[in-house]
Amino acid sequence: MAAAADAFLRARGRTLTAFRPDAEYQWKGPFYFIQGADPQFGLMKSWAHGDTENGDDEWGEEIKLTEQAVQAINKLNPKPKFFVLCGDLVHGMPGTRWKKKQEQDLKDVLKNTDQDIPLVFVSGNHDIGNTPTKEAIDDYCNNWGDDYFSFWVGGVFFLVLNSQLYCDSSKCPELRQAQDAWLDDQLAAAANQKCKHIIVFQHIPLFLSKPDEDNDYFNLDKSVRQEIMEKFHKAGITAVFSGHYHRNAGGSYKGLEMVVSSAIGCQLGQDPHGLRVVVVTEEKVVHRYYSLTELGSHGIDKELLDMLAKQK
């Protein structure tokens, strides 16, 4: 049981214990990872019934979909380096009736992920609240590991951020300040390491399609968006991967790619329930969104597999 619990708490001390930095600073050739988002146990029923605050008392559909996702990932060959879930793990907000049961049921599904594929968790607004408190973030960290951290894989530097602190940190301003200071330190350190790429994971997208688009529930407020985009651009960040929108979207800002992935769970647009396969080569980051059915039955297509086979 302890080993299963450890799988959910690998993000500790602002790093991911699944990877040893000294063994991962060097480029070793192309690799790939899997990005998922918004399993959000409980949303499908509450959305269908028009009661998103109290209608999340069933999540059987989400269990089946997440099981399908785990089965698809476990069949992949070669194996992905990791599986990152970009927030809204469950629908219940902090302190609501079904949250703990939703979280336990999600863990019961995710613990079946191949143990050689580390799980990486990103906090979403439903995980820590639209206006998070220190208590809500502490509870998340006790369940899923640190809310922000960094790690290296094969010469690539990854940053996991708590985007809710950029949305509304009014009840925990000191935590926003701490993440900002930590991020500046991390970007400064990365500049000295000559990494091939820097890739960011956060729940809420910087923007959905255009960097100057209007403020929306699904993007970051312009007042903080511009500052973060410019910081990321100056640091040479290659891409930001997010969820939250329950649809596929994205765009770019001065060479920084914003990738918005649809959900494992409830769809709010026309996309299938799915996962994104992300291939990292020396020159670029290439990705494709697959439906769960397609990935489970056919795996990764030849074009991406050929990219992985190069430079070996």
Chain segment 230-261, per-residue pLDDT in tens: 999 999 999 999 999 999 999 999 999 999 99
DSSP assigned state of 87: S
Chain segment 181-205, per-residue pLDDT in tens: 999 999 999 998 889 999 999 999 9
* pLDDT surpasses 50 at 1: no
pLDDT class of 49 with cuts at 50, 70, 90: confident
* pLDDT surpasses 90 at 167: yes
pLDDT class of 5 with cuts at 50, 70, 90: low
% of the chain residues with pLDDT over 90 = 91
Question: From residue 113, how far is each of 70, 71, 73, 145 by CA, in Å?
Answer: 6, 8, 8, 17
Distance from C-alpha of 116 to C-alpha of 12, rounded to nearest angstrom: 19
Among 19-28, 29-38, 59-68, the least confident range: 19-28
Q: Could you tell me if 249 and 268 are in contact, meaning their C-beta atoms sit under 8 angstroms apart?
A: no
Q: Could you tell me if 279 and 285 are in contact, meaning their C-beta atoms sit under 8 angstroms apart?
A: yes
Report the candidate in 146, 241, 172 with the shortest Cα–Cα distance to residue 201.
241
pLDDT of 3 reads 56
Q: Could you tell me if 212 and 258 are in contact, meaning their C-beta atoms sit under 8 angstroms apart?
A: no
Token duo for residue 136: 């809500």
Helix (H, G, I), strand (E, B) or coil at 251: strand
Quick one: average pLDDT of 44-72? Answer: 91
pLDDT of 50 reads 81
Amino acid symbol at 78:
P
* pLDDT surpasses 60 at 2: no
Chain segment 253-278, per-residue pLDDT in tens: 999 999 999 999 999 999 999 999 99
Query: What residue has token string 């914003």?
Result: 258
Distance from C-alpha of 79 to C-alpha of 118, rounded to nearest angstrom: 11
What rounded mean pLDDT belongs to the chain? 95
pLDDT of 194 reads 85
DSSP letter string, 134-191: HHHHHHHHHHH--SSEEEEETTEEEEE--THHHH--TT-HHHHHHHHHHHHHHHHHHH
* pLDDT surpasses 90 at 4: no
ω into 118 cis (within 30 of 0): no
**pTM of the predicted protein model:** 0.97
Among 16-30, 112-126, 136-150, 225-239, the least confident range: 16-30
